[in-house]
Structure 1
Amino acid sequence: MQEKHLERIRNGKGFIAALDQSGGSTPKALKNYGIAEDAYDNEDKMFDLVHDMRTRIITSPAFNSERILGAILFEQTMDRHIEGKYTADYLAEEKEIVPFLKVDKGLADEADGVQLMKPITDLDELLQRANERNIFGTKMRSVIKQANAQGIQKIVKQQFDIGKDILAAGLVPIIEPEVDIFSEDKSQSEEILKEELLKQLNELADGQDVMLKLSIPTVANLYKEIVDHPRVIRIVALSGGYPLVEANEKLKENEGIIASFSRALTQNLNVNQSDESFNQTLDDAVETIYDASVNKK
């Protein structure tokens, strides 16, 4: 199954859906979906509601393997069921969509112009459970706020150090050093990031192949050398706060990079929509993101 998934992710046409809002970002995701914070009075109810939202998305006919290659899940989503199956099994068996898992525990406070990941203290146990749940790969996010070479070097090293542990567990890491799209020196940060990524990629051994999730660069095709690197399975782009139309237009300018959007994918969905309206709205978003991923300027 892993080889089949690898072939699909490496060479398939489509994009990866990010459905991995965690505890800190779930209230905002629910609010955008039309569920206010007074609709739940504890964390369990909150996670029940967000799983209902994700279930509605995943089971929609618009969420299909013709346009979606993979989906990134939150840990609780991995451990829950959709129509009697664990979520990853439902994705793989019913939808033919490759399941990924968010493994980071959030961001540390900013230092040296970046936010490293907080320690992942249960990584070994989490990776074991991910294998038991038939997860293909993982995702972990850190954030670059300023063009600080020392900070960017730290962030990339942390990502790759943990990525090697993930590879050793038999999973494919998605390395995500996001550059804040509102940073005043975003393009300079991206130039530094590119060089640090290439340094780390060049040190990987044969078979230590990774994926990268990057902010859409200010300079189109800045990451083309990384797209073509033999240790890179695929580069996917995060929307980073860009509205859907803008994110799609910027993505189209970057050859070889596909989408992995979260907010841009779900921004127009609402809990009060009829199934017909919900499915059509989701289908419209999926189609435009697919088009931006496969049709380049």
Structure 2
Amino acid sequence: MNMAKAHMLEKIKNQDGFIAALDQSGGSTPKALRLYGIEEDAYRGDDEMFDLVHQMRTRIITSDVFNGSRVLGAILFENTLDRKIAGLDSAAYLWQKKNIVPFLKVDKGLVDEENGVQLMKAMPDLGKLLDKANQQGVFGTKMRSVIKLANEAGIRALVEQQFSIAKEILAKELTPIIEPEIDIHSPEKAAAEALLKTALLAQLDALPGDKPVMLKLTLPESDNFYLECIKHPKVLKVVALSGGYTRAQANDKVTANHGMIASFSRALTEGLSQKQTDQDFNQALDNAIESIFQASKS
């Protein structure tokens, strides 16, 4: 492990804070822009859409209130990794200028639901993407799949897929964030959580070597439900997705789950608007960061 990655590991392991999820990709970007006050008739095609979302992300990342004192890491989409912020590669800007650990979303989206889950699509170019991440000083990756129902076979297959790819990522000296999201609207959410925890612990126990992984989980129905995962020797950190909860709801749930920290996307940018003055924008962002930071300290 090089010196920069050793410092990043130390920061994620020991410092208070949370991880900003700035990784909306093709499917979720229009909604993110709409919430920011940019309607779909304001751009034509993917290039213009990604230009606008990069402007939004740049405004967040370059704000004085967005820095490594409260934000541990930020998850980027590949399109952002390929762009610059204030003349620097995005990942380099995060670490060198902000002391924020860069992560990269590597999944290519989801296949159709089967056995109550949506597995990840194939990633034929994963090796090349991981090499690029390493070249740009990225610390870790994130990949998401979704659980809709408490189907034991489906959940086991989903977790097996996540850990199989995680081993490839670990072999490239990157730290994977494994994200088996449970839909917060699932009629079987609590039962799905029980099956997921069993499957996660089995895979963690069997994980070879001494390199840890991270988990990104839906906030559970019962407080401290994932404590065994948080304390597992193969787990660097367990982070929580907001999953459709409001920021206030998600913060309350993070506070109630000791040892979990936030990794919010929509709940982080809630209330930010393109139309705000820089002063109003920075104040709204500062308030959001502070509330999420305090929730993550519990």
Q: Which category describes the TM-score, using the shorter chain as reference length? A: over 0.9
How far apart in 2 are the matches of 1:250 and 1:72? 21
Q: Could you tell me whether the CA contact under 8 Å between 1:175 and 1:212 is conserved in 2?
A: yes
Task: Kindly indicate whether the alpha-carbon contact (under 8 Å) linking 1:33 and 1:269 is maintained by their aligned counterparts in 2.
Answer: yes
Secondary structure, aligned partner of 2:178: strand
Structure 2 partner of 1:169:
172
Deviations, residues 181-237 of structure 1 (Å, cap 9, x unaligned): 000110000000000000000001232310000000101101001100000000000
Structure 1: distance between partners of 2:17 and 2:209: 26
The answer to whether structure 1 residue 38 and structure 2 residue 46 are counterparts is no
Structure 1: 4+ residue segments shifted above 3 A: none
| Counterparts of 2:65 and 2:220, CA distance in 1 | 29
Find the partner of 1:288 among 279, 291, 296.
291
- Which amino acid in the other structure matches residue 259 of structure 2? G
- Counting matched residue pairs gives 295
Aligned twin of 2:125 = 122
Query: What residue number does 1:178 align with?
Result: 181
Show the 5 A alignment for 1:30-69: 30-69=33-72
Once the two structures are TM-superposed, the CA of residue 11 in structure 1 deviates from its matched residue by 1.1
Counterpart of 2:179, as a letter, is E
Query: Partner residue of 1:271?
Result: 274
Distance 2:250 2:31 in 1: 20
Q: Secondary structure at the match of 1:219?
A: coil
CA distance in 2, matches of 1:234, 1:43: 34
1:95-114 equivalences under 5 Å are 95-114=98-117
Identity of aligned residues (%): 59
Describe the superposition over 1:2-57 as per-residue Cα deviations: whole angstroms up to 9, x where unpaired.
Answer: 01000101111000000000001001100000000011111101000000000000
The equivalent residue for 2:84 is 81
SS at match of 1:146: coil
Root mean square deviation, CA, Å: 0.6
The equivalences for 1:85-234 within 5 A come to: 85-234=88-237
- Which sections of structure 1, spanning at least 5 residues, go unmatched? none
- Once residues 115 and 32 of structure 2 are traced to their aligned partners in structure 1, the CA distance between those partners, rounded to angstroms, is 29
Aligned to 1:261: 264
* SS of equivalent to 2:167: helix
For the residues of structure 2 that align with 1:67 and 1:183, how far apart are their CA atoms? 32
Structure 1, residues 116-143: CA drift from partner, whole Å, max 9, x if none?
A: 0011111001001001111000000000
Q: Which runs of 5+ in 2 are unaligned?
A: none
Letter of the 2:165 counterpart = I
SS in 2 for 1:10: helix
Aligned-partner Cα distance in 2 for 1:206–1:248: 34
Q: 1:71 touches 1:100 (CA, 8 Å); kept in 2?
A: yes
Is the Cα–Cα contact under 8 Å of residues 206 and 231 in structure 1 kept in the other structure? no
Report the residue type matching 1:279 in the other structure: N
> Counterpart of 1:167 in 2: which secondary structure?
helix
Q: Matches of residues 15-26 of structure 1 in structure 2 within 5 Å? A: 15-26=18-29
Task: String of CA shifts for 1:53-93, please: whole Å, max 9, x gaps.
Answer: 00000001111111100000000100100010000000000
